[in-house]
């Protein structure tokens, strides 16, 4: 089959690889109909997270049709149309039983690597480093799904791929970020970063009853999309974020702040220089610029909710500010399974159509160009959806055309 | 064994002490999660015969006897006869707090390398006996909780994943061996491949 493979830093390619096969009794194999490139894939693309191996298949946002099931599989049937949450849940352990599926105790076959780095291993993830399992991802024609009975969600009739694809990650992730803010009527929520997760955090906060959402970014089309969703926008490139947020909230500060950026934030000035140096020499793996600002901006007694991914160690966290303001810091990979029923209901009721974030659609063969487009935020790119079953054009035919032709490939 | 080494490891497992005891006490289940153990045959009474794959394709065999057998609570054993692989061990099952299942504690004692009697066993355990026991216990937990042991060996990638060393990226990694696909395939795989460490 054809698959998008990580071959090194900023080097992803479509390669022909062996088809996946059933390796364990509860496995299923899907024929992937839609898959997306996630902002967190860019951390891998940029080489910022260790334990990738040359040849790994990327992709953790995918859905498709069941084509094969293992002998221990009683729930799913060949032909089922399903979507797959990005954290792999066994469904049986203490954590899965409590709904903390991104902390599954059993799904990481390389848990001991994770334990070296993080003391305790979280769930295995698709296409997201070997410390988190080394599972092949779904940016491919076919994908293997372990513990498929505990993971696959059958898509209700009448919903198309683009309406439900983002239930695999970014919609629940935005929702989780807002849920962590314990929003009360009248609250003002600041969302740092208006990429796809930030966009869903904005919509989620409003659906949960926030009075105001203030969205911060520097990319015009992202701010425009945030404004369409009902957020007030602050252009980060104009500087003085803390002062402006204070002014916008009557001197109080936002009730909660959501970091929808994570470890690769872009900064300015002396601290950015400091972080770049430290990151380059691996004394600091993550650039915690938004982390710092979110803590500093938040009102006394508020919540800072981290949805953006952090992978290692950070420096100069304003702990005194967090402590003395009595902040609550909440974070983690999203327990996607827990949120899907509620969010599916919102989609079926027409309260949200998650496809609003899609700006680009392309065949899988053009995925390398999609990564580049997304990373450089060129051509208004906010979210790229790949269609592995569309094979009419291959990347080697004319990669330069991607930007011009993407809209018609849906 | 005043000078012996001790390995002590514990896991909390979502099953009752009785269920876990029963699974472990059927010694033929042990090769399903102990990576190097090829077979365990119960002979008369409390005796059993062990065949274990070691480094360099060597096979080690010994007899052991159960010296403590408290249903639902504990099993303890020690080797008998050939002193080259002499060791003793125990596994305790006690209820965990707050509905977390059972705390399973394993303790193994053996002579240090160079000490004569335990040298063969020390080679068998390799350079990281604690991790080996820990990983065996983790597989026990995975097997009894989910019915299978997770793996990515043999999956799709733009490289030969059959040659993947599961711990290649591990800091201070020592050479590691194969990891079997499922409980049932483990036995088959062991027969196919002599590589264990």
3-class DSSP string for A31-50: EEEEEEECHHHHHHHCCCCC
Sign of the CA dihedral with B110 first, then B116, B120, and B126 last: positive
Task: Note the pTM of the prediction, 2 decimals.
Answer: 0.88
Which residue does chain B place closest to A104, by CA atoms?
B142
Per-residue confidence in pLDDT tens, chain A, 410 aa: 999 999 999 999 999 999 999 999 999 999 999 999 999 999 999 998 889 999 999 999 999 999 999 999 889 999 999 999 999 999 999 999 999 999 999 999 999 999 998 999 999 999 999 999 999 999 999 999 999 999 999 999 999 999 999 999 999 999 999 999 999 999 999 999 999 999 999 999 999 999 999 999 999 999 999 999 999 999 999 989 999 999 999 999 999 999 999 887 676 666 676 667 666 666 666 678 899 999 999 999 999 999 988 888 888 899 999 999 999 999 999 999 999 999 999 999 999 999 999 999 999 999 999 999 999 999 999 999 999 999 755 445 554 444 444 443 43
* A139 in B contact zone (CB under 8 Å): no
- In this predicted structure, what is the pLDDT of residue B166? 54
Length of chain B: 197
**Chain B contacts of A113, Cβ < 8 Å?**
167, 169-170
* B168 in A contact zone (CB under 8 Å): yes
CB contact under 8 A, B152 and A111: no
SS3 A63: strand
pLDDT tops 90 at residue B189: no
B157 Cα to chain A: minimum distance (Å): 5
With cut-offs at 50, 70 and 90, classify the pLDDT of residue B179: very low
CB B178 within 8 A of CB B165: no
What single string gives the DSSP state of each residue in A249-303? TTTS--SEEEE-S-TB----HHHHHHHHHHHHTTS-SSB-HHHHHHHHHSPTT-E
DSSP state of A165: G
Spatial separation of the C-alpha atoms in residues A209 and A227, rounded to whole Å: 17
User: Which of A71, A66, A104, A106 has its CA nearest to residue A87?
Assistant: A104
End-to-end CA, chain A: 21
* B38 in A contact zone (CB under 8 Å): no
> Domains in chain B, ordered, with CATH?
5-148 (3.30.530.20)
- In this predicted structure, what is the pLDDT of residue A264? 74
B196 Cα to chain A: minimum distance (Å): 17
pLDDT tops 60 at residue B173: no
CB contact under 8 A, A140 and B156: yes
Spatial separation of the C-alpha atoms in residues A377 and B92, rounded to whole Å: 57
Neighbour tally for A98: CB within 10 Å: 12
With cut-offs at 50, 70 and 90, classify the pLDDT of residue B54: confident
SS3 A120: coil
Distance of CA B185 to the CA centre of its chain: 17
Spatial separation of the C-alpha atoms in residues A227 and B141, rounded to whole Å: 49
CB B36 within 8 A of CB B43: no
With cut-offs at 50, 70 and 90, classify the pLDDT of residue B142: very high
> Domains in chain A, ordered, with CATH?
2-169+335-409 (3.90.180.10), 170-331 (3.40.50.720)
Interacting residues of A78 by C-beta distance below 8 A, sequence separation 6+? A66, A67, A68, A69
What single string gives the DSSP state of each residue in A195-232? SHHHHHHHHHHHHTT-SEEEEEES-HHHHHHHHHHT-E
What single string gives the DSSP state of each residue in B2-17? TT-EEEEEEEEESS-H
- In this predicted structure, what is the pLDDT of residue A48? 86
Task: Report the run of H or E that residue A346 belongs to, with start and end.
Answer: helix A336-348
B142 Cα to chain A: minimum distance (Å): 6
User: Which residue among A17, A113, A146 places its CB closest to the CB of B169?
Assistant: A113
SS3 A110: coil
Interacting residues of A29 by C-beta distance below 8 A, sequence separation 6+? A20, A21, A22, A66, A67, A68, A69, A142, A143, A144, A145
Q: Out of A238-252, B34-48, B119-133, pick the least confident.
A: B119-133
- In this predicted structure, what is the pLDDT of residue A54? 95
Give the Å distances, CA to CA, from A83 to A18, A60, A162, A171. 23, 11, 11, 13
DSSP state of A392: S
The β-bridge relationship of strands B74-80 and A256-259 is unpaired
Distance of CA A62 to the CA centre of its chain: 12
**Chain A contacts of B140, Cβ < 8 Å?**
none
Backbone dihedral region for residue A358 (phi beyond 0: left; psi -120 to 50: alpha; all else: beta): beta
Sign of the CA dihedral with B41 first, then B42, B43, and B46 last: positive
Length of chain A: 410
The first and second tokens of residue A164, run together, are 């439900």
- In this predicted structure, what is the pLDDT of residue B177? 34
């Amino acid at each position: 089959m054809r698959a998008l493979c990580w071959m090194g830093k900023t080097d992803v390619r479509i390669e022909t690889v062996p088809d996946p096969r059933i390796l364990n009794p509860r496995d299923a194999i899907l024929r992937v109909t839609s898959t997306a490139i996630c902002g967190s894939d860019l951390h891998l693309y940029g080489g910022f997270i260790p334990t990738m191996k040359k040849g790994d298949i990327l992709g953790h946002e995918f859905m498709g049709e069941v084509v094969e099931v293992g002998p221990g599989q009683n729930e799913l049937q060949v032909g089922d149309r399903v979507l797959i949450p990005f954290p792999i849940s066994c469904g049986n352990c203490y954590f899965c039983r409590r709904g903390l599926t991104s902390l599954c105790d059993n799904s990481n076959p390389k848990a001991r690597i994770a334990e070296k780095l993080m003391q305790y291993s979280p769930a295995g993830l698709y296409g997201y480093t070997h410390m988190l399992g080394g599972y092949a991802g779904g940016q491919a024609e076919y994908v293997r799904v372990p513990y498929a009975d505990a993971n696959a969600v059958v898509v209700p009739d009448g919903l198309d791929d683009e309406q439900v694809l983002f239930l695999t990650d970014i919609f629940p992730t935005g929702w989780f970020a807002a849920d962590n803010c314990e929003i009360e009527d009248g609250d003002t929520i600041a969302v740092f970063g208006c990429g796809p997760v930030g966009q869903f955090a904005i919509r989620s906060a409003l659906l949960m009853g926030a009075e105001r959402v203030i969205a911060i970014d520097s990319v015009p089309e992202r701010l425009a999309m945030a404004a369409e969703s009902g957020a007030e926008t602050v252009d980060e490139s104009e500087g003085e974020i803390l002062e402006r947020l204070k002014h916008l909230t009557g001197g109080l500060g936002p009730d909660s702040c959501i970091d929808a950026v994570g470890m690769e934030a872009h900064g300015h000035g002396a601290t950015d220089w400091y972080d770049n140096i430290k990151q380059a020499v691996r004394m600091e793996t993550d650039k915690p610029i938004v982390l710092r600002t979110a803590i500093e901006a938040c009102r006394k007694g508020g919540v800072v909710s981290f949805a953006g991914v952090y992978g290692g160690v950070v420096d100069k966290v304003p702990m005194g500010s967090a402590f003395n303001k009595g902040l609550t810091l909440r974070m983690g990979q999203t327990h996607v399974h827990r949120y899907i029923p509620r969010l599916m209901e919102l989609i079926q009721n027409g309260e949200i159509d998650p496809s609003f974030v899609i700006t680009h659609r392309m065949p899988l063969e053009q995925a390398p160009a999609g990564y580049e487009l997304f990373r450089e935020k060129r051509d208004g790119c906010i979210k790229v959806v790949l269609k592995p079953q569309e094979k009419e054009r291959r990347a080697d035919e004319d990669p330069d055309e991607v930007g011009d032709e993407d809209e018609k490939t849906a | 064994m005043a000078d012996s080494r001790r390995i002590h490891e514990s896991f909390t497992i979502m099953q009752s002490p009785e269920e876990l005891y029963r699974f472990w006490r059927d010694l033929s289940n042990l090769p399903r999660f102990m990576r190097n153990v090829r077979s365990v045959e119960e002979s008369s009474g409390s005796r059993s015969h062990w065949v274990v794959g070691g480094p360099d394709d060597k096979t080690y065999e010994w007899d052991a006897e159960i010296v403590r057998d408290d249903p639902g609570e504990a099993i303890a054993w020690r080797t008998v006869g050939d002193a080259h692989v002499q060791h003793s061990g125990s596994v305790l099952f006690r209820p965990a707090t707050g509905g977390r299942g059972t705390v399973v504690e394993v303790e193994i004692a053996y002579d240090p390398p160079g000490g004569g009697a335990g040298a063969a066993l020390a080679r068998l355990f390799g350079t990281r006996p604690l991790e080996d026991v820990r990983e065996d216990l983790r597989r026990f937990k995975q097997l009894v909780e989910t019915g299978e042991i997770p793996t990515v060996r043999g999956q799709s990638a733009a490289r030969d994943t059959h040659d993947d060393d599961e711990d290649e990226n591990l800091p201070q990694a020592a050479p590691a061996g194969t990891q079997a696909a499922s409980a049932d395939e483990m036995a088959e795989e062991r027969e196919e491949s002599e590589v264990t460490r």
